[in-house]
Copies of this chain bind each other. A is one copy, B any other.
C-alpha cells in the first residue's frame, strides 16, 4: 500500500510510521536518523512524479492520522490544517462558512493538503485563481535535526513572543499575509526534501456568486487551440478552460456517457464564474469565440448538476486513459499560451511518427498540457521507445519556451531532465538550499534536488 503512487515507480519502504502529533513526527525523524534510514513524507499517494516513493532503506511518515482542521477563522479568512486533511474536505468545510479555497487538483477528493503543498499542486481553476503556492501563508515544519520551524504567519506561534503578552496563534501582515523575509515559499513545491510539514495555514477568499459552463467540439485540435488563445485575449479569464483531444475523448467515452459528435477532433470545456450580472455575458462571449473558430455541438450547463457532471467527466480522464494501453507516462509540460497550438500539432505528428498513442488534454488557459505517452508495458522495446518519446516531448516544451512541469512536480520522473531547464548556477544554488536544511540528505534524497552526479552532468 505504501510502495506506489500514480507513477510506475514502486519501492517497498522498510518502515511506515503514522504519527498523531508533531511530537511523534519528531520522534520518528530521530528514530530514522538513529537507524540510518532516509525519510519520505507521504500523503494520499496520488502524486504524478514519484515524490512519495521511498528510497532504498527508507521510513515513510504518513500523514493519515494527522488529519484535523485545526481552525477556520472567518474574520481573518484563514484556515489552519494538519497535513493529512483532504483538500476536498477543507473546501467543503470552508464553504459552509461562506469562504473558498480554490486550488483543485483533479485528485482533490482524495489528495491531502500536505501533499498539495509539497508538490505545489495546481488544478482546473488555477488559471484564474492561482495555484497552491498563492494560498499558503504559513507552515510548521519538522526538520532533519529534529527541530520545529515556523514560517510566515506561523513563525510566532510557539516562539518567545507569547512570553511578551497574550498568546498569539498566528501572525497577520497584510491582506495576503505576505511579509519579508519569509521562508514559506521555499517549502511550497519542495517535494518533501526539506522537512516534514506538520501544520499549514492557508488564506481563503470569497466564493464566486455564480458560475456557468459550456462544452464545445471542434473539427480540428488546432481550431480548439486557436479558440483558447482568442478567449484569453478578449480579455476574459474563465475559471476553467480545459482542452481534450480526440484520443482522450475516445478513452472517456469508453468509460462514461458523453455524446461526442462525429468529426469532433477536440473538445473545450469552459466555466466562467463571478458576479451574477456578468457571468451570462461572459459565457456568451466564450460561445461566440468558439463558434468563430469552428466550434459546434455547443451545450451550456447552467445548473450545478450539469456542471458537476462535466467536471466529473474531466476528472475521469487520467484514470480512463489506462484503458487504452497497459503503460502510460503522463507529463504535465507547460508552454506559453500562444504556443499551445504548436505543441498540440507537434504531438500529433510525433504520434504518427512513433506509432504510439499520445493523448493530449489539460488546463489550456495555463498552457499546461498533460501529454500522455501510452505503450504496452510488457513490450520492452516499446517501453524504451515511449521513454525516449517523453524526453523529446520535454525538450520540445522547453524549445517552445515552456517548462518541464506545470503542477506535478519534478520528483523522480523529471529529475534527470532538470539540467535541460535550469542553468548550472541555478542547480548549484538548489543544491546549497537543500544542504542548508538537510546536510545529510535525510529527506527524500532521490527527489527533486540534483545529486552531485547530476550537477556534474549539467556542467
Contacts and interface: CB of A to CB of B under 8 A. Distances in A.
Given A159-B423, A334-B179, A429-B149, A401 B172 contact: yes
Interface string A203-215: 0001000000000
A293 interface: no
Interface stretch (A56-64, A79-87, A247-255, A364-372): A364-372
Q: How many copies does the complex hold?
A: 2
A423 B155 contact: yes
Interface string A54-91: 00000000000000000000011000000000000000
A386 interface: no
B134 A176 contact: yes
Given A120-B180, A398-B164, A429-B149, A174 B363 contact: yes
A433 B194 CA distance: 14
Bin the interface of chain A by size.
35 or more
Nearest to A400: B168
B176 A130 contact: yes
Interface in A179-198: 179-183, 185-186, 188-191
A345 to B, nearest CB: 16
A306 to B, nearest CB: 26
9 contacts: A98-B235, A122-B174, A127-B175, A148-B425, A150-B423, A155-B422, A173-B334, A175-B366, A179-B403
- Pairs A-B, 10 closest by C-beta atoms: A180-B189, A185-B185, A172-B336, A174-B366, A165-B399, A168-B401, A127-B175, A159-B423, A173-B334, A120-B180
